[in-house]
Chains A and B, each alone.
Chain A
Amino acid sequence: MKAAWLAKRNSKEILRDPLSLVLGVLLPVFLIVLFYIISKNAPIEVFNSVNIVPGVTVFGFTFTTMFIGLLIAKDKSSSFLTRLFISPLKSRDYIFGYFFPSLPVSFIIAVCCLLTGLLVGIPLSWNLLFTFLSFLPFIIFSSFIGVFLGTLCNENQVVALGNIYIISSAMLGGAWMDLNVLGKNIKSVTDVLPFSHAIEASRIILSGRPDNIWAHLLIVTGYAILFFFLSIFFFNKKMNL
């Protein structure tokens, strides 16, 4: 399968970049441990391991957006994409080839965060597996927004917008804070964005609360589908495919 060769190359490009390890894995693990220490001194609900681990894991996934966006932007500027466009690859091959690397990268982030979670008090149970599965719509969303950014922006723009996106997702997703402190107006904005829903769905599962996760997952899935189509549309348009 021709697309698999491109996907393999893209995965290696990301996984062999030391920055991927530092930002995607070490930073989230460090944050989980840090919040665990803080929670020992300041017993705030949001710092509990069942709340902080999903929040920080989703925060970690947002880095895959930056990794994929930067990879595409670099491939554009280095003419690597020109080489590929002259090849017999088809439109769907490019989309798969650039989407796929988010899966192994996100898998590593999720496993590292959840294993660290076990060390800071999350009980070992099947909920860990279901929590992992609940991340999937957000992983897909993060990947396609990366394809979207990389298609439309150059390297500098991806870095700038990617940083805004990562910080915004953490703040507006409530990764390590109660969103109610932001006030009613900002809270209503966070409710229509996918970040808080991705975090809340996994928090519900991990804590074993009997709340409904499907409404949260539906919103995140909607964003994933929206950016799936947007990334395909703009990729084809921009690349004259």
Chain B
Amino acid sequence: MIEAKHLTKKFGDVVAVDDLNLFIARGELFSLLGLNGAGKTTTIKMLSCLMRPTTGEATIMNKHLIKDAQYIKQRINVSPQETAIAPNLNVIENLKMIAGIYGFSRHDIPQKADEMVAAFNLSDVRKKKARLLSGGMQRRLSVAMALITEPEILFLDEPTLGLDVIARRELWAIIRQLKGKKTIILTTHYLEEAEALSDRVAIMYKGRIKAIGTVGELLDQTGADTLENAFILLNEREII
């Protein structure tokens, strides 16, 4: 589904992503973990056609990341780190706009928007302007805007950042429902989130993948009892 070979991104002398090799299977929920500046968001930006790699290459759905960008863009979507919604449009208008931008027919758009409103429990606020929604609802709308285009691959960049525990658990439930149906690439700072949701996890440090595998494999590899401890151990080894 997603294959990256020697993917590297440099900003001047700074190497943000360094020789990244990766394979993510169809329907997998794959988490990228790392400290700030580890290269998670840059990796997502490259794999979502938002940023050209300096060297290396990648294929998404067997299509070339650069040459077939238009094909890929039609079939992926992202929920960015910041809640990217149109503030003066209401919930239903936000959903319709994104569906329209992705070329869905005017006939299908209202039905698709209604489906998303129901799936994300936004019925009570469907006519409310997005800027007036709570943080949790805005984040749910942001993910719904990514899913209304029926992407085969969904990038979730820190989807629960800043949410309270209830809103976070609600979003987890939605993400769990997508497991197996969509290929999901998740970046997060919350290790319990990665542990609860992921099929596999990669831990990045200074642009490189330092460990990759299921949570169980990472625990075996490091001898740690939790993913958090495994993460700390892997990062300490690098820092020391």
Interface residues of A (CB under 8 A from B): 2, 4-6, 8-9, 12-13, 16-17, 77-80, 82-89, 240
Contact = CB atoms under 8 A, between A and B. Distances in A.
Contacts of A79: 80-84
Interface residues of B, number: 33
Given A85-B50, A86-B50, A87-B101, 20 more contacts: A2-B102, A5-B96, A6-B97, A9-B86, A13-B88, A13-B89, A78-B82, A78-B83, A79-B81, A82-B50, A82-B78, A82-B84, A83-B98, A83-B146, A86-B76, A87-B98, A88-B101, A88-B102, A88-B103, A89-B101
A17 B145 CA distance: 23
Q: Of residues A13, A82, A88, which shows the largest number of chain B Cβ atoms within 10 Å of its Cβ?
A: A88
B84 A78 contact: yes
Contacts of B149: 87
A109 to B, nearest CB: 19
Nearest to B145: A83
Interface in B76-119: 76-78, 80-89, 93, 96-98, 100-103
Contacts of A83: 78, 80, 84, 98, 145-146
Interface string B160-178: 0000000000000000000
B106 to A, nearest CB: 10
Contacts of B97: 5-6, 8-9
Specify the main secondary structure of chain B where it touches its partner. Answer: loop
Q: Per DSSP, are chain A's interface residues mostly helix, strand or loop, or mixed?
A: helix
Interface in B113-146: 129, 145-146
Contact of A2 (B49, B76, B82, B100): B100
A12 B50 CA distance: 27
B6 interface: no
B101 A6 contact: yes
Contact of B89 (A12, A78, A86, A89): A12
Contacts of B93: 9, 12
A5 B84 contact: no
Nearest to B155: A86
